[in-house]
C-alpha cells in the first residue's frame, strides 16, 4: 500500500506527521521524502549510512549542420523549450525541457540527439537497521521535480515493507500531482485556520480530480469542535486523527524531535491509524 501525506500549503505539519507515522510503524513501513525542493525528513531521522544515486535526464542537442529550420520540433514541444531564432538557428532551453524525448522523434533530419543533464539525487538510508528513508533532492534551478519524485518512488527498497509513505510536496502544482497520483490513498494534513482550510479545499479539489480516496489529519487541533473539525464535518470528510496544540510538541519539534519524542503514547494511535488505512485500502490487515 502506498500512502501520500500531503497538504495544500507548507507549514501544516505534514512532514512532522509523516515522520511520526513512519517511526511508529518502522517494522512495516518505509518513508520516501518526495518534497524534493526542500526535503526535511532527514533532519528528524538521523543515522545510518547514506548511499546517493544521481538522477539524469535527457535533453535535446542540435546538430546545426543537419537542421533546416523546419519548425516541427518547436511546434511539438509543449514547454517552449525550443525556439527558432532566425540566423542563430534552433535554440534549446534545457531548464524548460521536461525530457519527453518527443522532439528527437519528430525531427525528420535526425538533427537532434540526447544530452544527459543532472536533475537531482536520491539518497537512501536505513536508520537503526529498521527504518528506511529515501530522500529525493532536486538540483538547484532544475525544473524537473516530477522526474526526481518518480526516481525516489521507484528507488529499489532496501528493506521489505508492506507500506510506503510518501511525504508529498506541499501545494497543488504538478509535483504534488505526480506524487499523489502514485498513491492508493492521500492523507491531507491541515491546521484549524482560515488559510489552512482554504488550502485544504484546493488540495481536495485536486485529489478529487485524480479520483483518489483521501482523509484528513488536523494538526494543532483544539478538539473536535475546532474550525477544521467543523469544516470537515460539514463536508463529510473523514478525520483520521487530531494532533493537539501543545507547547511540549512545539518545543520538541523545534529541537529536532519527533511527535513520538514529545508524546510516546502517540505511537499506538499511529499504528492503529495505519491498520485502519490498510483495511480501508486493501480490505485486510497488514501481514
Strands 112-127 and 131-138 turn out to be: antiparallel
Full DSSP string of 8-50: SSTTSSHHHHHHHHHHHTTTTEEEEE--TTS--HHHHS--S--
The end-to-end CA distance of the chain, in Å, is 12
Using an 8 Å Cβ cutoff, are 184 and 2 in contact? yes
Smallest distance, Å, CB 54 to ligand SF4? 19
> Quick one: 66 or 210, whose CB is closer to ligand SF4?
66
Kindly state whether residue 253 participates in binding ligand SF4, applying the rule CB under 6 A: no
Q: Interacting stretch for ligand SF4, rule CB under 6 A, among 9-17, 60-68, 124-132, 141-149? A: 60-68
Site size toward ligand SF4 (CB under 6 A) is 27
Kindly state whether residue 150 participates in binding ligand SF4, applying the rule CB under 6 A: no
DSSP summary character for residue 143: S
> Quick one: 82 or 259, whose CB is closer to ligand SF4?
82
Using an 8 Å Cβ cutoff, are 20 and 270 in contact? yes
Smallest distance, Å, CB 7 to ligand SF4? 29
The span from the CA of 192 to the CA of 134, in Å, is 30
> Quick one: 101 or 213, whose CB is closer to ligand SF4?
101
Kindly state whether residue 83 participates in binding ligand SF4, applying the rule CB under 6 A: no
Kindly state whether residue 90 participates in binding ligand SF4, applying the rule CB under 6 A: yes
Residue closest to 33 by CA, chosen among 162, 127, 148: 148
Binding mask 104-123 for ligand SF4 (x = CB under 6 A): ---x-x-xx-----------
Q: Nearest-5° angle of CA 101, CA 102, CA 104?
A: 75
Kindly state whether residue 81 participates in binding ligand SF4, applying the rule CB under 6 A: yes
Q: CA distances (Å), 178 to each of 78, 125, 188, 194, 244, in order? A: 18, 23, 16, 27, 31
> Quick one: 85 or 140, whose CB is closer to ligand SF4?
85
Kindly state whether residue 69 participates in binding ligand SF4, applying the rule CB under 6 A: yes
Taking the alpha carbons of 207, 209, 210, 212 in that order, is the dihedral positive or negative? positive
Q: Interacting stretch for ligand SF4, rule CB under 6 A, among 94-102, 130-138, 151-159, 212-220? A: 94-102
Kindly state whether residue 257 participates in binding ligand SF4, applying the rule CB under 6 A: no
> Quick one: 124 or 142, whose CB is closer to ligand SF4?
142
Kindly state whether residue 208 participates in binding ligand SF4, applying the rule CB under 6 A: no
Grid cell listed for 80: 517552449
Q: Which residues bind ligand SF4 (CB under 6 A)?
A: 59-60, 62, 67-73, 76-77, 79, 81-82, 90, 97-103, 107, 109, 111-112
Amino acid at each position: 500500500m502506498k500512502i501520500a501525506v500531503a497538504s495544500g500549503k507548507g507549514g501544516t505539519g505534514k512532514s512532522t506527521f509523516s515522520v511520526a507515522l513512519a517511526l511508529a510503524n518502522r517494522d512495516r513501513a518505509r518513508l520516501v521524502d518526495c518534497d524534493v525542493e526542500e526535503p526535511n525528513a532527514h533532519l528528524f531521522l538521523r543515522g545510518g549510512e547514506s548511499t546517493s544515486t544521481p538522477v539524469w535526464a535527457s535533453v535535446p542537442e542540435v546538430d546545426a549542420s543537419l537542421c533546416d529550420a523546419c519548425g516541427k520540433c518547436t511546434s511539438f514541444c509543449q514547454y517552449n523549450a525550443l525556439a527558432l531564432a532566425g540566423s542563430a538557428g534552433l535554440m534549446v532551453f534545457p531548464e524548460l525541457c521536461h525530457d519527453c524525448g518527443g522532439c528527437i522523434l519528430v525531427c525528420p533530419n535526425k538533427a537532434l540527439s540526447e544530452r544527459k543533464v543532472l536533475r537531482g539525487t536520491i539518497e537512501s538510508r536505513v536508520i537503526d537497521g529498521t527504518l528506511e528513508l529515501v530522500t529525493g533532492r532536486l538540483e538547484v534551478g532544475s525544473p524537473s521535480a516530477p522526474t526526481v519524485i518518480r526516481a525516489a518512488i521507484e528507488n529499489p527498497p532496501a528493506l521489505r515493507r508492506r507500506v510506503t509513505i510518501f511525504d508529498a510536496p506541499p501545494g497543488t502544482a504538478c509535483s504534488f500531482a505526480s506524487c499523489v497520483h502514485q498513491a492508493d490513498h492521500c492523507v491531507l494534513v491541515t491546521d484549524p485556520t482560515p488559510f489552512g482550510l482554504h488550502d485544504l479545499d484546493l488540495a481536495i479539489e485536486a485529489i478529487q480530480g485524480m479520483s483518489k480516496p483521501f482523509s484528513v489529519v488536523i494538526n494543532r487541533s483544539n478538539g473536535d469542535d475546532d474550525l477544521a473539525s467543523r469544516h470537515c464535518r460539514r463536508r463529510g470528510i473523514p478525520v483520521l486523527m487530531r494532533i493537539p496544540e501543545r507547547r511540549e510538541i512545539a518545543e520538541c519539534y523545534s529541537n529536532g524531535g519527533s511527535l513520538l519524542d514529545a508524546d510516546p503514547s502517540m505511537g499506538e494511535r499511529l499504528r492503529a491509524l495505519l491498520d485502519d488505512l490498510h483495511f480501508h485500502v486493501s480490505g485486510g490487515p497488514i501481514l
